[in-house]
Amino acid sequence: MKTLVPAVAVWGRTAPSHSITAVMITDDQQTIVTGSQEGQICLWDFSSDLQISSKEILFGHTASVTCLAKARE
């Protein structure tokens, strides 16, 4: 049985200035993490009513972020 997942835009009226190359959702499904071609990692708050708001952006990578993974506890 396939589960339908609705498409969600992670920006408002204007697309972000970075090209998203990787996406990860945390286990609690409250945070979306995106990696970009420009080397940025963005954290987004994701609410149960499908509202997304920016949380923070991390800089410092010198290459594209093409993969995201969570660390074990």
pLDDT in tens, 25-54: 998 889 999 999 988 898 999 888 888 888
Helix, strand or coil for residue 65?
A: coil
Report if residue 55 sits inside a domain.
yes
Find out whether 30 and 55 touch, Cβ atoms under 8 Å: no
Total number of domains constituting the chain: 1
Question: Does any domain span residue 44?
Answer: yes
User: Does any domain span residue 27?
Assistant: yes
Question: Model's pTM, two decimal places?
Answer: 0.71
Is 3 contained in some domain? no
β-partners of residue 37 are: none
Query: Does residue 66 form part of some domain?
Result: no
How long a stretch of residues is the chain? Answer: 73
34 occurs within a structural domain: yes
Q: Could you tell me the residue range of the domain that residue 41 belongs to?
A: 20-59
